């Protein structure tokens, strides 16, 4: 679950960050082939930082799609700055990844 | 107490810490609400003002409700947070994004939709709340 894919590109006056995470995002309402409920397993919190400074905090429920996708934009960021994203799920698992801003 | 026992205890305590901090941060009541109004109330949303300055880009018709891409942009100055709701989902609150330090009030994400419904957006600006909505026709349910 550590294969988070990230891209951060300078586009004019903002940096666009795209993140693709690998996570089942189980709602707790789905049944498996044996008609047993699959327990809820989902990302609850995602945080992003720019050069260590908090820029985004997202709280999620079970309604975010499997293998979550996210785009966000940062003003005042420049090429070489470091964007880091961390998620935490309801099982206590966490993953973090960072990337340097590149020019488009 | 032996020094080793103390250190083991301390390690266990630290290991337990993140989930506890998280439980305190995550708005359980809002995310587990089955009615949109209850979810809104748990986010302290009051007196929603309709606003065309909230842009919502989502498909008119979604073939597969398991993956519906939605793009939200707030043109309201000093937007602090964007909450995404799907009115007819089993738990309507999907996500709440909070912006700071130069993050623009803009997100693109992919969400699940159980059936044809409005995607409702609520934007927080100071103590005020603005709202807009976009209907999406769902052809195949996405909330297994």
What are the pLDDT tens digits along chain A (104 aa)?
457 999 999 999 999 999 999 999 999 999 999 999 999 999 999 999 999 999 999 999 999 999 999 999 999 999 999 999 999 999 999 999 999 999 98
Taking CB atoms and an 8 Å cutoff, what residues of chain A touch B101?
A: 50, 53-55
| Average pLDDT across chain B, whole number | 88
Residues of A in contact with B69 (CB under 8 A): 69
Please tell me the predicted confidence (pLDDT) of residue B66.
95
Q: Do B103 and A60 touch (CB under 8 A)?
A: no
CB-based burial label for B16 (10 Å; 0-12, 13-18, 19+)? exposed
| Confidence grade of residue B11 (pLDDT, cut at 50, 70, 90) | low
Chain B positions in Cβ-Cβ contact with residue A33 (cut-off 8 Å): none
Residue B1: predicted pLDDT: 54
Interface contact A74-B102, CB threshold 8 A: yes
| Tens digit of each residue's pLDDT (9 = 90 or more) over B90-119 | 999 999 999 999 999 999 999 999 999 999
Is pLDDT above 80 for B5?
A: no
Which of A59, A72, A76 lies closest to B107 in CB terms? A72
Q: Do the Cβ atoms of B103 and B21 come closer than 8 Å?
A: no
Q: Where are the domains of chain B?
A: 29-138
DSSP H or E stretch at residue A50: strand A43-50
Walk me through the domains of chain A, giving residue ranges and CATH numbers.
4-28+37-103 (2.60.40.10)
Instruction: Identify the closest residue of chain B to A19 by CA–CA distance.
Output: B109
Q: Do the Cβ atoms of B93 and A64 come within 8 Å? A: no
Task: Evaluate whether the domain defined by B29-138 bears CATH number 2.60.40.2470.
Answer: yes
Q: How far is B144 from chain A (nearest CA, A)?
A: 4
Percent pLDDT > 70 in chain B is 81
pLDDT for A1 equals 45
Contact between chains at A55 and B91 (C-beta distance less than 8 A): no
- Neighbouring CB atoms inside 10 A of A97's CB total 16
Question: Contact B91/A59, CB-based, under 8 Å?
Answer: no
- DSSP assignment, residue A8? E
Pairwise CB contact (< 8 Å): B112 & A63: yes
Answer whether B120's CB lies under 8 Å from B95's CB: no
Q: How many pairs of residues across A and B have Cβ atoms under 8 Å apart?
A: 121
Q: How far is A96 from chain B (nearest CA, A)?
A: 14
* CA distance, residue B28 to nearest chain A CA (Å): 9
Beta carbons of B114 and B90 less than 8 angstroms apart? yes
Q: What is the pTM of this model?
A: 0.89
Collapsing DSSP states into helix, strand and coil, what is residue B123?
strand
């Amino acid at each position: 679950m550590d294969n988070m894919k990230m891209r951060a590109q300078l586009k004019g006056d903002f940096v666009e960050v795209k993140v693709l995470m690998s996570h089942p995002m189980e709602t707790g309402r789905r049944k498996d082939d044996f008609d047993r409920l699959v327990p809820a397993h989902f990302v609850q919190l995602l945080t992003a930082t720019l050069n260590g400074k908090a820029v985004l905090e997202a709280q999620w429920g079970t309604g975010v799609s499997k293998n979550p996708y996210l785009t966000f934009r940062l003003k005042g960021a420049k090429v070489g700055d470091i964007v880091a994203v961390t998620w935490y799920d309801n099982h206590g698992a966490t993953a973090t990844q960072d990337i340097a801003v590149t020019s488009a | 107490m032996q020094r080793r026992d103390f250190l083991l205890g301390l390690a266990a305590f630290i290991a337990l810490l993140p989930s506890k901090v998280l439980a305190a941060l995550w708005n359980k009541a809002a995310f587990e609400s089955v009615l949109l109004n209850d979810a809104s109330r748990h986010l302290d949303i009051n007196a929603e003002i309709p606003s065309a300055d909230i842009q919502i880009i989502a498909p008119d018709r979604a073939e597969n409700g398991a993956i519906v891409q939605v793009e939200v942009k707030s043109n309201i100055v000093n937007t602090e947070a964007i909450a995404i709701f799907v009115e007819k989902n089993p738990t309507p609150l999907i996500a709440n994004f909070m912006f700071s330090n130069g993050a623009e009030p803009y997100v693109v994400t992919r969400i699940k939709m159980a059936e044809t419904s409005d995607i409702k957006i609520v934007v927080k600006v100071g103590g005020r709340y603005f709202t807009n909505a976009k209907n999406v026709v769902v052809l195949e349910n996405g909330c297994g």
